[in-house]
Chains A and B, each alone.
Chain A
Amino acid sequence: EPEVTQTPSHQVTQMGQEVILRCVPISNHLYFYWYRQILGQKVEFLVSFYNNEISEKSEIFDDQFSVERPDGSNFTLKIRSTKLEDSAMYFCASSEPGQVSTQYFGPGTRLLVL
Chain B
Amino acid sequence: AQSVAQPEDQVNVAEGNPLTVKCTYSVSGNPYLFWYVQYPNRGLQFLLKYITGDNLVKGSYGFEAEFNKSQTSFHLKKPSALVSDSALYFCAVRDLQTGANNLFFGTGTRLTVIP
Residues on A with beta carbons closer than 8 Å to the beta carbon of B115: none
Contact A42 B44 (CB under 8 A): no
Contact B46 A58 (CB under 8 A): no
Contact B51 A104 (CB under 8 A): no
Instruction: Give 6 A-B contacts (CB < 8 Å), ordered by A residue.
Output: A33-B101, A35-B103, A43-B92, A56-B100, A99-B101, A100-B51
Contact A44 B43 (CB under 8 A): no
From DSSP, what is the main secondary structure of chain B's interface residues?
Answer: loop
Known: A56-B100, A56-B101. 20 other contacts (CB 8 A): A4-B43, A31-B101, A33-B101, A42-B108, A43-B90, A43-B92, A43-B103, A45-B102, A45-B104, A48-B100, A48-B102, A56-B102, A91-B43, A91-B44, A95-B101, A99-B96, A102-B34, A105-B36, A105-B45, A105-B46
Task: Give the size of the chain B interface in residues (CB under 8 angstroms).
Answer: 24
Q: Residues of B with Cβ closer than 8 Å to A? A: 32, 34, 36, 41-46, 49, 51, 90, 92, 96, 99-108
